[in-house]
Amino acid sequence: MRILQVVKTNRGAAWAFNQAKHLKDLGVEIITVLPNDSEGNAEKYKENGMTIIEGDWRLPITKPWKFFSVCKQIRHTIKQVQPDILHLHFVTNVLMCRLALRKDKTPRLFQVPGPFHLESALTSFAERCTATKADYWAGACNKTCSIYKDKGIAPQRVHLAYYGVPHKDASQDVSKNILHSEYGISDDAVIVAMVSYFYKPKKYLGQKRGIKGHEDFIDAIKSVVHKHPNVVPVIIGNAWDGAESYENQVKEYAKKVLGNKVVFTGYRGDVYDIYPEIDVVVHPSHSENLGGAAESLMLAVPTISSDVGGFPDIVIPGETGCLSKSKNPEDLADKIIWAIEHQAEMKDMAKKGQVLVNELLDLNNTAAKVHEVYSKILNS
């Protein structure tokens, strides 16, 4: 079985590489298209015996004159590689390939990493109206699958296929008190943290706040510290893809609302060593797949997330964590306060979440599921 995988970035999308590596172990030949054949994740693919083809197959919205040259490269590559399936992960690659391959019968699988583009009328319409009989979908959460089916896509063309997550070392379950030491946080403090990159709002989609909900977190903490003054809010992460200005705006907003109470750590390469000393981790995203909740639960850290996208697949109220209403700082504050006042229960739920995530997102299981989807497509 030969699969041509298209990834829009050399930076990030580690989940696509991890999945490809395990599919290769199952005997699948994986050839990957990346914008650059020598940077970032390209070297990882090569080190694991997978072929890289250089090509930026994104829809060139800001450089429309490149459209026909990209079409030509796509058609040439398909003719040369002759894949059994074209596997895509990003909507911009999906649209470009569909437009370039209108008459091509090679099956195309769009493994959808999240429902974000489906929540916009324009991108949702564009994605569905360009689809042909050659197209299939694999949602990476139940919400995504439901949206496609509700919009009229035949159920047999929609599959559920999570992206797997590498298991974390058991030693990372032990707190090393890194934050306490570096930032002088007292032993009796309650650390409530958010772990996320800063993504600047897309104003053309009407976004006024960042999609990860940093401002909602800050607003919620304002109410939390009023009742629990020993709470120390920590935001871990840095700007993604030119969002430095937005990151600074968030810092200014935090200072306006909470003074100097919020600890901003910036990028941390040791985030998995930090997680165990966090008392409650919060994922207040406005749109998401499984996001950081998969990481925090994998390390058995008490977890609160918004009720969007794939979060409810793993953050199950009363069982593995708490869900708050999206874009609702008041409800988020209530959930954080409850978690602080019920820490033993939160820890028990986090341990159950760890068991769930380790099974559900085990790379051997998720890769086997994708392999099963490939087989169903080829046999349909």
Residues pairing with 54 in the sheet: 34
Q: In the prediction, which pLDDT does 249 show?
A: 95
172 pLDDT tier (thresholds 50, 70, 90): low
Of the CATH numbers 1.10.10.10, 3.40.50.2000, 3.50.50.60, 3.40.50.620, which one belongs to the domain with range 2-164+362-379? Answer: 3.40.50.2000
Q: Give the integer Cα–Cα distance in Å for 343 and 345.
A: 5
Q: What is the rounded average pLDDT of the residues 143-151?
A: 95
Do 198 and 239 form a contact (C-beta atoms < 8 A)?
yes
Relative orientation angle of helices 363-379 and 14-25, to the nearest 10 degrees? 70
**2 three-state secondary structure:** strand
**What per-residue confidence (pLDDT) applies to 185?**
94
- Sheet holding 231-236: strands in order across? 263-266, 231-236, 190-195, 280-283, 303-306, 322-324
**pLDDT of amino acid 206:** 76
Structure tokens at 154: 């035949």
In the predicted model, is pLDDT for residue 171 greater than 60?
Answer: no
At the fourth CATH level, the homologous superfamily of domain 170-360 is: Glycogen Phosphorylase B; (3.40.50.2000)
Length, in residues, of the chain? 380
Q: Hey, what are 293's tokens? A: 């909740």
Round the average pLDDT of the chain to a whole number and report it.
94
Q: Say what the pLDDT of residue 169 is.
A: 63
Q: How far apart are CA 39 and CA 44, in angstroms?
A: 9
CATH 3.40.50.2000 in the chain, residue ranges: 2-164+362-379, 170-360
3-state percent breakdown (helix, strand, coil) of the chain, nearest 5: 45, 15, 35
Give residue 28's Cα distance to chain centre.
Answer: 24
Q: Phi then psi for 64, rounded to 5 degrees?
A: -60, -25
Task: Indicate whether 167 pLDDT > 90.
Answer: no
Q: Is there a contact between 216 and 209 (Cβ–Cβ < 8 Å)?
A: yes
Distance CA 331, CA 327 (A): 9
What local confidence, expressed as pLDDT, does residue 173 receive? 66
Q: What is the mean pLDDT of residues 9-30?
A: 93
pLDDT at 319 over 90: yes
Which amino acid, one-letter code, is at 91? V
In this prediction, residue 90 carries a pLDDT of 94
Strands (E), the chain: 2-6, 29-34, 51-54, 85-88, 108-112, 135-139, 158-160, 190-195, 231-236, 263-266, 280-283, 303-306, 322-324
| Per-position DSSP letters for 83-133, written without gaps between them | -SEEEE-SHHHHHHHHHHTTT----EEEEES-SGGGGSHHHHHHHHHT--T
Task: Report the run of H or E that residue 78 belongs to, with start and end.
Answer: helix 67-81
pLDDT at 13 over 90: no
In this predicted model, what pLDDT tens digit does every residue of 83-101 receive, in sequence order? 999 999 999 999 999 999 9
Structure tokens at 152: 């009229």
Q: What is the pLDDT of residue 354?
A: 95
